[in-house]
Structure formats: structure tokens, C-alpha cells
């Protein structure tokens, strides 16, 4: 059994609201699956279905080949999770919150709590009440609760929330290590493609409840649009000439000509030569690659999104 | 069993570390101390006149400064206080998980949701039992120190039996509150429910139909400990048991089957 997390036409409606519509996801062992979508796209609802917190209106969810059910306690033994914002018992200290997690997870070793605090760099806040933690340390506590029992499956909803850039990098490395060296299957959601793309092995894009695209991280690069930006003294005439020569062009908000397509990039030297010959010498020529955020917005935009 | 003990340990820790522990204990002890104070006022008419309002209230509640009146006061205070304080405790134990958004950490664990619910009810019962077991001895001690007339050792056993029956009955009326807290996902709905049940228990007790209203049945059990009073019938036990059982099964079903959004 290689598929660790699988949803089959998983659908969830809340009355007239179609929160998630026929989502098919498949996550293999040791993969880091980045689940991307805008706020309200259906990420958390999908995660709650995977964790048995809500029942799909139709369709099924499987973990390690077993149909997910709220009573499947043996599945939850091997699963760690963080859903939405991390909340903890505010009157209890960091240690006490983790001690509760340790006991409820049935962990015999009393050192588990000390070990996970050290791993998440929150040992110094051991005796601080959860209500007095910063947002970032609250997030670390939430991740610590998810990891305390060394789960085989890790489901994290927006794990980077509230963390500073160093914290984000630290958690990223931690998750990479878990997946690569310990074979942990990680499913994490985010609304920031740029961050997820740095370490996810596969990415799914969800928008308005529907899974629009699933792509391996290696393929992502080939899907990004590339273009050549050109600025001349006579923009209109230059654009007209370029189109005569067979290039697809557009004008961006800076008044620069955008020549789309891989061919334009590979022939940039020839384009410059042609423009000079035509008496339209460029004052700037720059190859540009679409960034991941733009790609994400383009994907959801082309599927009826607001972007 | 290990899961139950782990969850019970967690629930007791949450209670120990909360301000609610001291608030409910303080309110309960204050109420029972006030009973003694009211008897003290009733014993001294000059003092009662000086503290007009308290004197009047004491006269309404108890009437006379003697042991039977003092027991009547205990019935009334226990009836209201039990529903209010024990209901508040049940609201807190279940409702706080929703208000603090910690419920989601209890839903996908090696410990089943039913076990979590059972441990919460056990913790609620333990906490309420501690409060309940403090009230009666303090009440008795106050009466003894006030040297109230009308002491009848043969009735004491009956009062103890009545209290021993009514207290767990009042405590377990917290179970339907747990359902309302879970269904309402927080504190507000169960607190509204508790206030409604107090009002219903008082109204039906005054109308003389207390033995058929689940929230007044414990009061009836306390009152029936007095010599010559009618005893609880089978119908009362059935009504009471169905109410608590419905709350219990409803809570289990809600945690197990409802969407936890």
C-alpha cells in the first residue's frame, strides 16, 4: 500500500454551500503534499474530512487504505495534526499542554515532552502559560502537539502562520527531514504557494471547493510562463514590427512590450538585431519568468476565480 | 481503561488550574454560610430588625429559628445552588473546549471520543461531589453552633439519606447540560438552559407538581426526608432517569456523529 492519504470524489456541502466538490487526492508514502488555495477555498474542510471531524456528503476518504471514520482510533494513533490556528488550554503551561497530549497519545516515555520542546525550540517557555505565548510560539506548541508521538502521517493546516522568516525556514527543514529521512507522509495546506513550493514534492491547487490542478514539484518549473520584456523609444512601432515578425506581444503597466513564449527567450539576440536594423534600438531587454504566486493566481483566475 | 485514566487526569488538571474551581467552591460555601447567618438573624429579632432586608429574606425562606426550618432552607438553597453551580461546572467542562477552540485536539486521538465524554462526566461528578460533600457537614456544624431548637436525632438519619439521594441526582442533571454545551458549542446555550431549568423547577415545585419535573425531583427527594412527607414515586424516578439518560446518549452521539466544524 503506497497511497497513504486518498480521497475519492470527497464532497462536502453545508446546506446550500458547496464547500468541497468531488476532490480526488492521492498522497504517497514519504511525500510532502502542498495543498494550496485562497482563504475559503476548501482546504480546511478537506483536512477535517481526512481527520474524520466531518463526514463527506458523498465520496470517501482513506488513510493507509482504511476508510476514515471518527472511531478509527488506531488510525489516529499514527496521525499527527494541526487544524487551523493552534489553540491550547490557556490556563495551562506549555509543559502541561504537551503532557496532556503525551498521555492522550498513550506515550509511556516521560521524556517525550522534553524532547519535543527541544525540537521545536520552546523549552525556555516550558512553564509559561499558553495564554502568554506569542503567536509564533503558540504555533510551535501546536506543531509540537502534532509531532510528539512521531506520527507516520502528518496533517498540518497553515503551519507557517505566525512564524517569523527564520521560524518558517526552521519548520521547513524539520518537515523535510521527517519526510526524507523518516518516511513521514506530510499533507500541508497553505495560501502561500511560494513557501510550499520550496519543499513540497507535489502540489494540489484547490479553488472554490474544486481541485484545479495537481502537479509534481519537478514539473512546476515547466508550467511557469516566460517572457521577454523590451523597452524602446517608439513602443507602438516596435510592437507592430514584432507582431509582423510573428511574435505575440502585449503591453504591461510599465509601458514595456512583453513578448510571450519560450521562442522569444531563445531568440532574444536576434530580436535585438532585428529591432536595431528597423531603426528601433531597444533601451532595455530583459528575460522574465512568471513567479509562483502569479502562476497560482493565473490558474485559479482561468478557472473563474477572482484573480 | 488507560485512555480513560489519561483523559480523566487531563480533565482534573484543567479543573485544578482554572479559576472556576475556586469560584464555584466559593459561591457554594458562601451560600451555606449564609444559611447559618440567616438562622442567626432569625434567632435574634432585634438584630433582624436592624438588618431589615436580610431579616425579611430569612423569614421568607425559613420562618423560624429551629432545625426543621433550617432544613427547609437547605432544601431551597441546595435546589437552586445545585442546578446553578453543577450546571455551570458542566457548561464549563464541555463548553470551554468549544470556546477555547481546543475541541479539535480531542477528536482524532487514540482515545475514543466516547471515552473523552465519559472522563469529562466523571471529572464533573467528582468536582460536584466534593462541593456537595462539603455543604452538608458545614450546614450541620453551623446549626450545632447556633444551638437551634427542635433537634431530633431520629430525623437526622432521614435528612442524611435525603441529601445523599438528592445530591447525586442534582449532580447528574449536569449531564443534559453537557449535551446542550456540546450542541451549542460553547457556554451561552447551556447557561441559558440552566437558568430555564431553575425557573421550571421553582415554578413546578410551588405549583405542587415538582415530582414530575426532572429538575425539581431532587428537591422533592430532599423534602421527602422530613417526617410525614410524601415519598418519590416510580414515575419520578423514570422521568429523572430518562432525562439524564437522554442527555448522556445525546452527548455521546453528538461527539461521535455530528460534524465538528
- Return the pLDDT at A306: 43
- Return the pLDDT at A290: 78
pLDDT-based confidence at residue A83 (cuts at 50, 70, 90) = very high
Mutate to test the interface with A, among B22, B105, B107 (most CBs of A within 10 A): B105
Q: What average pLDDT does the segment A173-187 reach? A: 93
Let me know how long chain B is: 261
- Return the pLDDT at B49: 67
Contact A97, A143 (CB under 8 A): no
Q: Report the number of secondary-structure helices (H) and strands (E) in chain B.
A: 12, 0
- Domain count of chain B? 1
Rounded to two decimals, the ipTM of the complex is: 0.88
Closest among A190, A285, A268, A176 to A229, alpha carbons compared: A285
By C-alpha distance, the chain B residue nearest A88 is B102
In this structure, what C-alpha cell is assigned to residue B178?
Answer: 453537557
Instruction: Give all strands of the β-sheet with A79-82 in edge-to-edge order.
Output: A79-82, A153-157, A185-190, A32-36, A202-207, A210-216
pLDDT tens string A258-291: 888 778 888 888 889 999 998 989 999 988 877 7
DSSP B83: I
- Return the pLDDT at A143: 94
Q: Is the pLDDT of residue A305 over 50?
A: no
The domain containing residue B208 runs over which residues?
2-257
**Interface contact flag, A103 B259, Cβ < 8 Å:** no
The enclosing H or E element of A251 equals strand A249-251
Q: A203 - beta bridge partners?
A: A34, A215
DSSP reduced 3-state for B56 = helix
Q: Is A204 on the interface with B (CB under 8 A)?
A: no
**Interface contact flag, A92 B14, Cβ < 8 Å:** yes
Distance from CA of B115 to the nearest CA of A (A): 11
Q: Which residues of B touch A46 (CB under 8 A)?
A: none
Contact B78, B159 (CB under 8 A): no
How far apart, in whole angstroms, are the C-alpha atoms of residue A214 and residue A35? 9
Side-chain half-sphere of A118: how many Cα atoms within 13 Å? 5
Distance from CA of A233 to the nearest CA of B (A): 59
Backbone angles phi, psi at A121, to 5 degrees: 55, 45
Distance from CA of B17 to the nearest CA of A (A): 6
Which residues from B are below 8 Å from A when comparing CB atoms?
A: 2-3, 6-7, 9-10, 13-14, 17-19, 100-102, 104-113, 256-257, 259-261
Place of cell 512590450: A257
**Interface contact flag, B107 A84, Cβ < 8 Å:** no
Q: Which segments in chain B show pLDDT lower than 70?
A: 1, 45, 48-63
Q: Which residues of B touch A70 (CB under 8 A)?
A: 107-108, 113, 256-257
In this structure, what C-alpha cell is assigned to residue A293?
Answer: 504566486
Contact A119, A175 (CB under 8 A): no
Q: Alpha-carbon torsion A134, A139, A143, A145, what sign?
A: positive
Strand stretches in A92-246, DSSP E = 153-157, 185-190, 202-207, 210-216, 226-231
Closest among A294, A296, A222 to A258, alpha carbons compared: A294
- Return the pLDDT at B55: 58
How far apart, in whole angstroms, are the C-alpha atoms of residue A176 and residue A195? 13
Closest among B77, B80, B254, B243 to B175, alpha carbons compared: B243
- Return the pLDDT at A24: 96
Q: Which of A14, A71, A91 sits opposite B17 (nearest CB)?
A: A91
Q: Which of B2, B106, B112 sits opposite A71 (nearest CB)?
A: B112
Closest among B207, B32, B87 to B220, alpha carbons compared: B207
Task: State what percent of residues in chain A have pLDDT above 90.
Answer: 60
By C-alpha distance, the chain B residue nearest A146 is B105
Place of cell 481546543: B102
CB atoms within 10 A of CB A226: 15
Strand A66-67 versus strand A185-190 pairing type: unpaired
Burial class (CB in 10 A: 0-12, 13-18, 19+), B60: exposed
Q: Angle at the Cα of A259 (from A256 to A262), degrees rounded to 5? A: 145
- Return the pLDDT at B57: 62
pLDDT tens string A12-43: 999 999 999 999 999 999 999 999 998 889 99
How far apart, in whole angstroms, are the C-alpha atoms of residue A191 and residue A172? 15
pLDDT-based confidence at residue A2 (cuts at 50, 70, 90) = confident
Q: What average pLDDT does the segment A202-215 reach? A: 92
- The separation between CA A2 and the C-alpha centre of its own chain, rounded to angstroms, equals 22
List the end-to-end C-alpha distance of chain B, in Å, as a whole number: 28
CB atoms within 10 A of CB A60: 13
Closest among A57, A99, A51 to A75, alpha carbons compared: A51
Q: Which of B6, B14, B108 sits opposite A81 (nearest CB)?
A: B108
Amino acid at each position: 500500500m503506497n497511497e497513504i492519504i486518498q480521497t475519492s470524489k470527497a464532497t462536502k456541502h453545508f446546506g446550500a454551500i458547496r464547500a468541497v466538490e468531488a476532490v480526488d487526492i492521492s498522497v504517497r508514502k514519504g511525500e510532502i503534499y502542498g495543498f494550496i488555495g485562497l482563504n475559503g477555498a476548501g482546504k480546511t474542510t478537506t483536512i477535517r474530512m481526512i481527520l474524520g471531524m466531518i463526514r463527506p456528503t458523498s465520496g470517501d476518504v482513506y488513510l493507509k487504505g482504511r476508510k476514515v471514520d471518527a472511531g478509527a482510533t488506531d488510525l489516529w494513533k499514527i496521525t499527527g495534526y494541526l487544524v487551523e490556528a493552534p489553540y491550547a488550554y490557556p490556563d495551562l503551561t506549555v509543559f502541561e499542554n504537551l503532557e496532556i497530549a503525551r498521555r492522550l497519545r498513550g506515550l509511556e516515555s516521560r521524556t517525550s515532552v522534553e524532547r519535543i520542546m527541544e525540537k521545536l525550540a520552546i523549552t525556555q517557555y516550558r512553564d509559561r502559560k499558553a495564554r502568554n505565548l506569542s503567536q509564533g510560539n503558540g504555533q510551535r506548541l501546536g506543531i509540537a502537539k502534532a509531532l510528539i508521538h512521531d506520527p507516520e502521517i502528518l496533517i498540518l493546516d497553515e503551519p507557517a502562520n505566525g512564524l517569523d522568516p527564520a521560524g518558517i525556514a526552521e519548520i521547513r527543514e524539520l518537515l523535510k527531514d521527517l519526510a526524507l529521512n523518516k518516511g513521514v507522509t506530510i499533507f500541508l495546506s497553505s495560501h502561500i504557494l511560494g513557501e510550499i513550493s520550496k519543499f513540497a514534492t507535489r502540489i494540489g491547487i484547490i479553488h472554490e471547493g474544486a481541485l484545479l490542478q495537481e502537479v509534481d514539484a519537478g514539473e512546476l518549473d515547466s508550467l511557469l510562463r516566460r517572457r521577454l520584456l523590451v523597452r524602446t523609444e517608439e513602443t507602438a512601432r516596435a510592437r507592430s514590427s514584432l507582431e509582423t515578425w510573428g511574435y505575440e506581444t502585449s503591453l504591461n503597466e510599465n509601458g514595456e512590450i512583453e513578448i510571450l513564449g519560450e521562442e522569444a527567450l531563445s531568440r532574444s539576440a536576434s530580436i535585438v538585431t532585428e529591432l536595431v536594423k528597423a531603426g528601433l534600438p531597444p533601451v532595455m531587454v530583459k528575460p522574465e519568468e512568471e513567479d509562483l504566486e502569479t502562476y497560482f493566481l493565473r490558474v485559479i483566475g482561468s478557472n473563474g476565480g477572482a484573480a | 481503561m488507560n485512555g480513560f485514566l489519561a483523559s480523566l487526569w487531563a480533565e482534573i488538571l484543567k479543573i485544578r488550574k482554572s479559576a472556576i474551581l475556586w469560584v464555584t467552591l466559593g459561591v457554594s460555601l458562601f451560600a451555606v454560610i449564609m444559611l447559618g447567618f440567616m438562622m442567626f438573624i432569625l434567632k435574634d429579632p432585634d438584630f433582624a430588625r436592624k438588618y431589615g432586608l436580610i431579616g425579611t429574606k430569612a423569614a421568607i425562606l425559613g420562618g423560624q429559628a429551629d432545625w426543621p426550618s433550617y432544613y427547609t432552607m437547605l432544601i431551597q438553597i441546595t435546589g437552586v445552588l445545585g442546578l446553578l453551580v453543577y450546571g455551570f461546572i458542566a457548561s464549563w467542562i464541555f463548553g470551554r473546549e468549544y470556546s477555547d477552540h481546543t475541541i479539535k485536539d480531542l477528536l482524532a486521538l487514540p482515545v475514543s471520543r466516547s471515552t473523552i465524554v465519559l472522563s469529562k462526566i466523571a471529572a464533573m461528578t467528582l468536582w460536584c461531589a466534593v462541593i456537595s460533600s462539603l455543604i452538608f457537614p458545614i450546614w450541620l456544624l453551623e446549626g450545632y453552633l447556633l444551638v437551634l431548637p427542635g433537634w431530633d436525632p431520629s430525623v437526622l438519619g432521614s435528612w442524611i439519606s435525603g441529601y445523599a439521594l438528592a445530591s447525586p441526582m442534582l449532580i447528574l442533571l449536569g449531564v443534559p447540560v453537557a449535551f446542550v454545551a456540546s450542541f451549542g458549542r460553547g457556554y451561552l446555550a447551556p447557561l441559558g438552559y440552566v437558568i430555564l431549568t431553575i425557573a421550571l423547577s421553582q415554578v413546578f415545585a410551588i405549583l405542587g407538581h415538582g415530582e414530575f419535573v426532572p429538575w425539581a425531583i431532587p428537591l422533592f427527594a430532599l423534602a421527602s426526608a422530613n417526617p410525614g412527607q410524601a415519598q418519590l414515586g416510580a414515575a419520578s424516578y423514570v422521568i429523572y432517569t430518562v432525562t439524564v439518560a437522554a442527555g448522556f446518549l445525546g452527548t455521546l452521539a453528538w461527539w461521535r456523529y455530528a460534524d465538528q466544524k
